[in-house]
Structure 1
Amino acid sequence: MVDFYDNPVQMEPLVIDDSRPIFKDLLGLAHELSEASACLDAAVIPATAKSLSELVEGLNCYYSNLIEGHKMHPSDIDKALHEVTEKADRKNLQSLALAHIEADRWAKQQSLGKETLESFLLNVHRTFCQHLPEELLRLDDGSMMTPGEFRTREVQVGRHLAPKAETLGRFMDRYQQVYGQRLEWAQKGGLPKLTSMVSTFAAHHRLAWIHPFLDGNGRVARITLDAMLRACGVNGSSLWSMSRGLAKTSDQYKAYLAGADEARHGALDGRGNLTEKGLAEFCRYGMQTAIDQAKYMASMFSREHFQARASGYFQKVRHTDMKPEAAHLYLHAFVMGEFERGEASRITGLAERTARSVLSDLIGEGFLVSDSPKGKVSAGFPVHALGSLLPNLYPACDFDITPEELAEIRHRKKIATSRFASGR
């Protein structure tokens, strides 16, 4: 019986042997995932995709933290996404939200390969931890976690005894060698790409199994899984959330992770120390979950269905404090991608001054967004309207708000816009 693992051979197999009957099924799922994600990318207009990608950053943050037992309110995530606040003014959950979003955004700018995978992990952890207050870096034993450094002591996660700290370097070298090479193979397309996609889910389990950091492993592993999928050409525009799928099937997620921790189940269970069948089942679960999320988001953005939900929102929810023409402007941005601000009068049929007022209201609440104070506007997805625009994106919550809360949102947006315009 192993006390603490001390040799990388003990985490074999790292990939599923292509001679196994299940491997063909896994390749089929990889192909289905590639197709589902590509169809969503093609269906969403680029300008709208940019706003949707920002929304998905919030989903990743919310659901990844939920898996770790931290339930946030979407409004806290919205503040982290859109506002600059001093550390002293943030609550712990807001700090966690900002930390996750910053680490996720940093990861999107990186490329992964056999020479960069280990440094990527360290930097994701460092970026995440650097945005946390001191109390969230303090561990249960009173010691402080060092951002961006592998652990230097032993840990046990449930029944799993992670590799000895003094041997982590060898485990991580092997991890980078195998999975980094697979990521580079993905660039060839075809079968190598599909094989690499399967490997990303195996890599997710093995990273959790190694448990390289004293804390933050789950969040880092999920951000890394997203990055690996992007490196394989999947979800490159970040239009769906893997973490949402994992959180909504959290019990299965944890059960499949634990199942792949087990020792080999006899001579027919691969050639490594750990169970190949358990690892394959985790990969199957992961890809099925990813397919579900890509298809779910595609259904949310079906033009006909989205237009009906948006029209209903403006007619039924906001009919007392926003002109009916607001829906025309918003849906025009959604369908066309973007438009010049000066076109508001033509699109709505309203007088110039009235059209500008409607446009200003939509920008003030985040229904329309822009890269500059006078630039083109595109469709946004404000958190207070998500319950109507994109139902079930978050857990059953009522995102419709009171007039007082709406006034506060407008005030915050006005301050944020003023900072943006002044370059602060």
Structure 2
Amino acid sequence: MMELYDDPAQMEPLVIDSSRPAYDALIGLAHELSEASACLDAALAPATAKSLSELVSGMNCYYSNLIEGHHTLPIDIEKALFEVKEQVAQQDLQNLAVAHIEADRWAKSQSLNKSSLLPFILEVHQRFCERLPKEMLKLKDGSYMDPGIFRERDVSVGIHVAPRADMLNRFLERFTEVYGLRLEWSKKGGISKLDGILTTFAAHHRIVWIHPFLDGNGRVARITIDAMLRECGVNCACLWSISRGFAKTAEEYKAKLAGADQPRMGDLDGRGNLSEKRLAEFCEYAMQTAIDQAKFMARMFALDNFRFRAEHFFQKVRFDLKPESAYLFIHAFATGEFERMEASRLTGLPERTARDVLNALVIEGFLVSDTPRGKVRVGFPMHALGSLLPNLYPAGDLDVDPQALRQLIKADKADKASAAARNVLVHNMKIK
């Protein structure tokens, strides 16, 4: 058996130094990523971006779980996003979806620096694992994993033997010292920001290499890379998913991660214990993957492209809804949000008819609102994504049985009617 790593110096290099030949090209990719992400952020109205962010949260869950071999269906993820508690088949996978989404939501509210990076990683693992059923915490040896606890025994992953458990704290301290400091430097902007972006991708490999938990390392690492990128000013609105890119190229993702595990290959391969060349190759692959995802979403949500798909959808696919539905849906997407009373003006329909059209869109999730009478913004219901936003998910996973959809809508109508009745009762009691 290979000797286990017992000294943090054995995971050097942690960064690609500015003096190294690969640095300039990698910094160029960091600039391209920053620009592509910023262009997408600027293209969408804030309210539309909010709805898209919720959709991307589900995509992160789906694709990050898929990388780990768990196939969570998008419809179950949608239920988790909106906290639908009904019993469904494959309950473990729905719990898995809830666990990932809740951990990801918490992560979005955090700020990272040298002192908070390690507690953040622990808390993400805690929040993810504590929502899983006990059976999903069971390890191969029959023991159970404790959420939010660093491993206390030695492990190997494939041919990679992770650092010794009794030395784990030293590796993690070095990790946070280097990467936390780079995150703080990124606030200066300019080359420091670009260096922070590049360093974030190196950090993704190194936390996977350290393997701090007995299980759940991949998901925690992908939630962490998203948070570190946000700290560097990239994808702050959460409008694209790097997990989707990694899942689409899963074999290459795993191969590049494994490649960066390799020891130094000769005198020209940096000055650390591990291969600088392979680490640079992983960073190049990962940044190019991120750029592709940001540009993919920008094309998907370009107004002309989106309008064309929306008009076709309401004319050819959902012709059971009034054709004026497209006006309200596209207007919400383009402007961000609008008052409900504007529906008549926007559609040219009588007020009551326009209200019915708007309510039908709200019931199915094409329009959403934070309050029963508040402004509405665009929504992206899972059952319509195959037509409205093709290729976000594999087509077969978005298939929804029409009868099941009708039952879901019927149940939602009943829930809304019940809620309305309760509101009227409360209102009348207040008047009395």
If the TM-score is normalised by the length of the shorter chain, which range does it land in?
over 0.9
Contact 1:387/1:398 (8 A) holds in 2: no
Quote how far apart the aligned CAs of 1:398 are.
6.7
SS at match of 1:172: helix
The aligned counterpart of 2:426 is none
One-letter amino acid matched to 2:182: R
Matches within 5 A, 1:7-406: 7-85=7-85, 91-319=91-319, 321-397=320-396, 399=398, 401-406=400-405
Task: State how far apart, in whole Å, the 2-side matches of 1:415 and 1:260 are.
Answer: 55
- Contact 2:73 2:397 survives alignment (8 Å): no
User: How many Å separate the matches in 2 of 1:351 and 1:102?
Assistant: 42
1:407 matched to 2:406? The reply is yes
Distance 1:50 1:418, change over 3 A: farther
CA distance in 1, matches of 2:236, 2:373: 29
By how many angstroms is 1:280 displaced?
0.5
For the residues of structure 2 that align with 1:289 and 1:75, how far apart are their CA atoms?
Answer: 26
Q: How many residues align?
A: 422
**Structure 2 alignment gaps of length 5 or more:** 424-432
How far apart are 1:345 and its partner, in Å? 1.1
Contact 1:58 1:77 in 2 (8 A): yes
Structure 1 residue 141 displacement after superposition: 1.1
Alpha-carbon deviation of 1:84? 3.9
SS at match of 2:293: helix
From the superposition, tell whether residues 34 and 76 of structure 1 become closer, same or farther in structure 2 (CA, over 3 Å): same
Q: Secondary structure at the match of 1:102?
A: helix
> Structure 1: any 5+ residue segments left out of the alignment?
none
For residues 95 and 284 of structure 1, the distance between their equivalents in structure 2, rounded to whole angstroms, comes to 34
TM superposition shift of 1:88: 10
Query: What do residues 139-170 of structure 1 show as CA deviations (whole Å, max 9, x unaligned)?
Result: 11111110000001111100000001111100
**Matched residues in 1 for 2:306 and 2:146: separation?**
45
| One-letter code aligned to 2:406 | A
Larger mean CA deviation between 411-420 and 128-137 belongs to: 411-420
Corresponding letter in the other structure for 2:139: L
Which residue of structure 1 aligns with residue 428 of structure 2?
none
**1:415/1:248 Cα in 2 relative to 1: closer, same or farther (>3 Å)?**
farther
Distance in 2, matches of 1:62 and 1:173, equals 31
Write the deviation string for residues 95-126 of structure 1: whole angstroms up to 9, x where unpaired: 11010000000000000000010000000000
When residues 283 and 418 of structure 1 are mapped into structure 2, their CA distance, relative to the original with a 3 A threshold, is farther
SS at match of 1:37: helix
Paired residue secondary structure (1:261)? coil
**RMSD (Å) for aligned C-alpha atoms:** 1.8
264-273 or 85-94: which moved more? 85-94
Bigger shift: 391-400 or 136-145? Answer: 391-400
Q: Distance in 2 between matches of 1:74 and 1:349?
A: 35
Moved over 2 A (4+): 86-90, 396-403, 411-423
Task: Report the Cα offset of residue 385 of structure 1.
Answer: 0.4
Aligned-residue offset at 1:83: 2.3
| C-alpha separation in 2, matches of 1:88 and 1:407 | 16
Kindly state the Cα deviation for residue 400 of structure 1 after the two structures are TM-superposed: 5.6
In the alignment, residue 113 of structure 2 is paired with which amino acid? G
Secondary structure, in 3 states, of the residue corresponding to 1:188? coil
**Closer, same or farther in 2 for the Cα pair 1:172/1:77, shift >3 Å?**
same
Q: TM-score, normalised by structure 2?
A: 0.94
* 1:397 aligned counterpart, secondary structure: helix
